[in-house]
Structure 1
Amino acid sequence: MDRESSAAFARDEFEKTGRLAQVLSKGLWPTTLFLGAYFALSIAVRLILPNSLTLDEAEQSLFSQYWLAGYGPQPPFYNWVQNAFVRVMGISLLSLTLPKFLMLLLCYAFFGMAARELDRRPAFVAMAVLSLLTLPQVSYMPQQDLTHTIAVLMATALFLYGLFRTLSRPDWQGYAILGVAIGIGTISKYNFVLLPAATIIAVFCDREWRARLLDPRVLLTAAISLAIVLPHAGWLLGNIDLATNGTIGKMVEANAPHGIIRVVRASGSLILACIAFGALAVVVFAVAFRKDFRRALRAGDRWTLLLGRIMLVSLLGVVCVILVTGTTKITERWLDPYLLPLPLYLLRKLERVGVDTGGSLGRFMPVFAVIMLVTLVPLAGKTLTGGLTGSYSRINYPFASVAETLKAGQRPALIVAEGMHLAGNMRLQFPDVPVISSGQPIAGFPPAAAMKGPVLAIWVGNGSAPGAPPSIDLSSVGALGLTASDPRSLSLPYEYGDGRTRLDLGYLWLR
């Protein structure tokens, strides 16, 4: 392509992004529809990849077999939503993917509704919504393998909308929205509870807004949030160790130091997590607005003061968690509820120094387009090029071929699989067969009357010597009194692999 052709191509692309910016600048709903189309493309990309599941997808696949008040270290809201989709649509890759992207779309929509409470200009609202793309935790990570985190992002955006609405034009609907958001957020991720606590402190610091905390309609907020939380609260009280140990364990390093060294290391981890969470947003706005950005850092109004206080008090709450729990590492994912308002905070500050941020949407569209492309490609790219790079994702595992081979023998009445990932994939491949994870059986599932042979027991090959007893725990089906066959092995090449890298499984039948 010569120089003139390149210049013409660049002009055409610029005009296209300019026309798109004009459409999106009409406000929240055109922007939401645009993002909806993007997420529909994201779903399509996921569906064309092999029919094997990531770790979080496998967990949802396995847990969708039963309704429980609690499922383990994570609260159950996402599980409940996922189960509802599976009940309506059946278990499939689509029914496992759809809830995630619908919640993510709602996160963007609620964030736009929150922005509209601060500034009703359509272009500003569109800019606020799309600015969420500069947060990797909202744009990049959900395209990889997240579930509960997306639910808490949605709840946080809804909370911000309810908060801004209640402070700017208090009515019972605003207080009700706050109750719904607090309830959903609490049973999405336990760390969400720091957000409303920090908000109470931040609102209390404003003399006029303080009256909102004393409004009788706060009781409506409390009643709604309690009604949402109560079904899980009873389970939580009886399983507090199960619910907290997993999360705290991830936040404490092995052989971690004690005393002041631990606190310093954890505080450093928190600082790095904050940088990882918001650095891209800050850099994008700083480069785009330069001198205005430096002036904006010193500017503000009541809304920026409120948001700044919420973020600061929330992070101080994290410091308290560090001191109380012995935490040594904080990941940026843990900060999602606290730092989600960052783009809106920056945009509002820029507006205070006279920058028309909404009018700058056309300048930002190429940046947003690049982010959307970059976040869409990695999972598919890694999966499809595994054979060339030698780096495989769990989606490369040949579980469809595994199921095909096993179905050629006989149909199991029950499957016992080693580990949640394998169990969740077996559930997807055998949709009408109950599946038990050998390390985490659920009492009463399946019902005793439904437990019968033949039972397929399957585990990931561990290189044990031929004839050695299988490592899988079969005590969950011991009462059936079935006789186990000799263990067999199964080795199949990865999807899009080099033909040499294989998935090794062991299995046996109990009849």
Structure 2
Amino acid sequence: MPATPPSPAAATTPPWRSPLFWLLAWALASTASRVLLSQALMWDQAEQTVWSQQLAWGYGPQPPLYTWLQWAVNGVLGPTVLSLALVKKTLMVLTFVFMFIAARQLMPAPAAWLAALGMWWLPGMGWQALRDLTHTVLLTCLVAATWWLLLRQLRRPSPGGFAALGLALGLGVLSKYSYVLFAGAALAAALSLPQPRRALLSRGWWLAPLIAALLVAPHALWVLQHWQEASSSTLAKLRPAYEATGWRGMLAGLGDLLTMLGLAALPWALMAWWAFGRRAWRTPAPSADTTPPWAVPLLLRYLGLIVCGLLAMVVLGNVSNFDGRWIHPLVCMAPMAAFAWRPGLGDQPRGRRRYLGAVLGMALLLWLGGAADPLIDARRGRADRFNWPVVRMAERLRAAGYDGRSPIIASHHIIAGVLRTRFPLAPVTVCDADLPQAVGCVRQAVRAAEARGQGWLMVAADDAAPNGWWLAGTPASGALPCLQTWALPYRRARADTPPLRLDLMLHTAPIYK
């Protein structure tokens, strides 16, 4: 009996019709262009390259989760630009996927995809795609994942769901400390509504705080033991020394906060208004069967609590400075809230086409912008760090006698991270020349190398390190090698662009044997 041909409705949808296909295509293209563009690093990725040399419960002012992920990928692929790009692009794709399945708890699939893909028009997501942000990328991903698990639990509570939510809460705190504000606002908003409150207090609710606390406890203990190291940098960013204090500082903080909140979702709002037209947003559409009645009040109360929390930071905490990347993860659910309010917009063919066209255009623009930025800077004669002559630098160091294994003592994270990608067998120590403890750091690193019978390389790039920094590298024998200064032309640079300055002092083992 001949097989019955499949009906058109049962035919398999071509992969290229799925938004996930295009997200993966963007991630692959973006990763490839990043690797081909430059082997140099910016600040955040250089930090990760240095920190991921070993596992620890804390790394300076940041929680450890991103570094743990980078350590795992480096273990397979080595400390390379490819490893850095893969971690970041994977997290960005997962952010869209988690936001889609979160929105799917509240609306049909067409509207859920619009809610997720609309994040391309949030300035924070665009900034993450263009530059080298790390912890903010992970935070945004875990915020989206938490929304999915929370909304799923509110609809269908179960002990297993509480365990998964507790896992997300613990990992979120280990991604970036501002996650605490998000989690507190989301849970408080849910507890303020009768039906979500009953779901959150149902059988097995205690699993969520227990699992979260167990995950966070080791790092919390580390923070208590390293409080100055963990908090000083963050507090300095929130309250810069040059900012006004008192009433003037409070007004400056309020103005900065209102500006950042206004810009956080304004580009998306204007694009969505254009795509569907003002009448579509003003005219109430029938609620989708999948949209629970508590969805919009929950999301609005969450946004209100976020604003109140940020205002409290200004009024009670004297915070006078806000960065857009701090605000973005807290409001990345704004498109989801809008489509939960008007889920029927996902069924409007013309508006959906315009909306998806704008999303695709923005994704391409950001990809091309990230690839073209170093080229444009080179043509303008600007010393962009992506144009550092990394390969030439490594070749010159080997020719000068560096063996590729001896410890490297660097004056800042960028040159440290760059050299680690070229010499993965060499342990790298950053002794920041701008910090008062730099001299002691250098001396300690030198004594450790001497105890192991090794030589070492001291290096500073871009900015000269003070004399005391170099003198701290004097070996026990007292024989200090000559300080060398190299001028390395930037890649793609104009002829009149000043070269990169590289200062180095190479100690070989025979000096102190």
TM over 0.5: yes
User: Aligned partners of 1:454 and 1:447: how far apart in 2?
Assistant: 10
User: Aligned partners of 2:29 and 2:60: how far apart in 1?
Assistant: 32
User: Aligned partners of 2:36 and 2:149: how far apart in 1?
Assistant: 38
User: Aligned partners of 1:387 and 1:304: how far apart in 2?
Assistant: 48
- 1:490 aligns with one of 486, 489, 495: 486
- The CA deviation string for residues 109-162 of structure 1, in whole angstroms up to 9 with x for no partner, is 11111011112x332222222111111212343331110001100110010001
User: Aligned partners of 1:61 and 1:32: how far apart in 2?
Assistant: 29
8 Å contact kept, 2:239–2:318: yes
User: Aligned partners of 1:338 and 1:462: how far apart in 2?
Assistant: 36
8 Å contact kept, 2:408–2:427: yes
8 Å contact kept, 2:15–2:21: no
Name the SS for the 2:486 alignment partner: strand
8 Å contact kept, 1:143–1:375: yes
8 Å contact kept, 1:39–1:101: yes
8 Å contact kept, 2:66–2:134: yes
- The CA deviation string for residues 236-273 of structure 1, in whole angstroms up to 9 with x for no partner, is 11122221221121122333223222222111111111
8 Å contact kept, 1:484–1:509: no
- 1:139 aligns with one of 126, 130, 133: 126
- The CA deviation string for residues 215-242 of structure 1, in whole angstroms up to 9 with x for no partner, is 2422111122122212211101112222
Name the SS for the 1:498 alignment partner: coil
Name the SS for the 1:483 alignment partner: coil
Distance 1:177 1:437, change over 3 A: same
- The CA deviation string for residues 354-398 of structure 1, in whole angstroms up to 9 with x for no partner, is 534564432222211210111112232121233322234211111
- The CA deviation string for residues 253-307 of structure 1, in whole angstroms up to 9 with x for no partner, is 333223222222111111111122111111111222212223469x995211101
8 Å contact kept, 2:122–2:267: yes
User: Aligned partners of 1:362 and 1:482: how far apart in 2?
Assistant: 72
Q: Which amino acid aligns with 1:424?
A: G
User: Aligned partners of 1:438 and 1:473: how far apart in 2?
Assistant: 11
Aligned to 1:397: 388
Aligned to 2:25: 37
User: Aligned partners of 1:403 and 1:358: how far apart in 2?
Assistant: 56
User: Aligned partners of 2:455 and 2:192: how far apart in 1?
Assistant: 66
In the alignment, structure 1 residue 91 sits paired with structure 2 residue 91? no
Instruction: Using the TM superposition, give the Cα deviation of residue 479 of structure 1 relative to its aligned residue in structure 2, in angstroms.
Output: 6.7
- 2:410 aligns with one of 409, 413, 417: 417
Aligned to 1:200: 187
Instruction: Using the TM superposition, give the Cα deviation of residue 481 of structure 1 relative to its aligned residue in structure 2, in angstroms.
Output: 4.7
Instruction: Using the TM superposition, give the Cα deviation of residue 46 of structure 1 relative to its aligned residue in structure 2, in angstroms.
Output: 0.2
8 Å contact kept, 2:136–2:329: no
Aligned to 1:267: 254
Instruction: Using the TM superposition, give the Cα deviation of residue 462 of structure 1 relative to its aligned residue in structure 2, in angstroms.
Output: 4.5
Report which stretch shifted further, 252-261 or 363-372: 252-261
In the alignment, structure 1 residue 374 sits paired with structure 2 residue 354? no
Distance 1:445 1:23, change over 3 A: farther
User: Aligned partners of 2:274 and 2:256: how far apart in 1?
Assistant: 26
- 1:191 aligns with one of 163, 178, 194: 178
8 Å contact kept, 1:382–1:392: no
Q: Which amino acid aligns with 2:385?
A: R
Structure 2 counterparts to residues 195-344 of structure 1, below 5 A = 195-288=182-275, 289-295=277-283, 301-344=293-336
> Where does structure 1 lack aligned partners over 5 or more consecutive residues?
1-21
User: Aligned partners of 1:63 and 1:361: how far apart in 2?
Assistant: 44
8 Å contact kept, 2:40–2:386: yes
8 Å contact kept, 2:485–2:503: yes
Instruction: Using the TM superposition, give the Cα deviation of residue 326 of structure 1 relative to its aligned residue in structure 2, in angstroms.
Output: 1.8
8 Å contact kept, 2:449–2:455: no
- 2:166 aligns with one of 175, 179, 182: 179
Name the SS for the 1:509 alignment partner: strand
In the alignment, structure 1 residue 58 sits paired with structure 2 residue 31? no
Name the SS for the 1:507 alignment partner: strand
8 Å contact kept, 2:61–2:232: yes
Report which stretch shifted further, 376-385 or 446-455: 446-455
TM value normalised by structure 2 = 0.87
8 Å contact kept, 1:91–1:428: yes
Q: Which amino acid aligns with 2:342?
A: L
Aligned to 1:19: none
User: Aligned partners of 1:499 and 1:317: how far apart in 2?
Assistant: 52
8 Å contact kept, 1:62–1:424: yes
Instruction: Using the TM superposition, give the Cα deviation of residue 94 of structure 1 relative to its aligned residue in structure 2, in angstroms.
Output: 0.6
Name the SS for the 1:457 alignment partner: strand
8 Å contact kept, 1:179–1:223: yes
Q: Which amino acid aligns with 1:213?
A: L
User: Aligned partners of 1:400 and 1:459: how far apart in 2?
Assistant: 17
Instruction: Using the TM superposition, give the Cα deviation of residue 98 of structure 1 relative to its aligned residue in structure 2, in angstroms.
Output: 0.7
User: Aligned partners of 2:83 and 2:372: how far apart in 1?
Assistant: 23
User: Aligned partners of 2:269 and 2:28: how far apart in 1?
Assistant: 29
Name the SS for the 2:485 alignment partner: strand
8 Å contact kept, 1:414–1:451: no
Name the SS for the 1:218 alignment partner: coil
Identity %: 27
In the alignment, structure 1 residue 507 sits paired with structure 2 residue 504? yes
Aligned to 1:8: none
Aligned to 1:82: 70
Cα root mean square deviation, aligned? 2.6
Distance 1:296 1:42, change over 3 A: farther
User: Aligned partners of 1:294 and 1:243: how far apart in 2?
Assistant: 47
Instruction: Using the TM superposition, give the Cα deviation of residue 461 of structure 1 relative to its aligned residue in structure 2, in angstroms.
Output: 5.6
Aligned to 2:117: 130
State the aligned residue count.
478
- The CA deviation string for residues 20-56 of structure 1, in whole angstroms up to 9 with x for no partner, is xx96897xxx322320111110001101112111111
User: Aligned partners of 2:447 and 2:259: how far apart in 1?
Assistant: 45
Instruction: Using the TM superposition, give the Cα deviation of residue 70 of structure 1 relative to its aligned residue in structure 2, in angstroms.
Output: 0.6
Instruction: Using the TM superposition, give the Cα deviation of residue 195 of structure 1 relative to its aligned residue in structure 2, in angstroms.
Output: 1.4
Aligned to 1:460: 461
Distance 1:159 1:56, change over 3 A: same
Report which stretch shifted further, 185-194 or 442-451: 442-451
8 Å contact kept, 2:61–2:234: yes
User: Aligned partners of 1:130 and 1:232: how far apart in 2?
Assistant: 34
TM value normalised by structure 1 = 0.87
Instruction: Using the TM superposition, give the Cα deviation of residue 77 of structure 1 relative to its aligned residue in structure 2, in angstroms.
Output: 0.8
Q: Which amino acid aligns with 1:509?
A: L
Distance 1:461 1:114, change over 3 A: closer
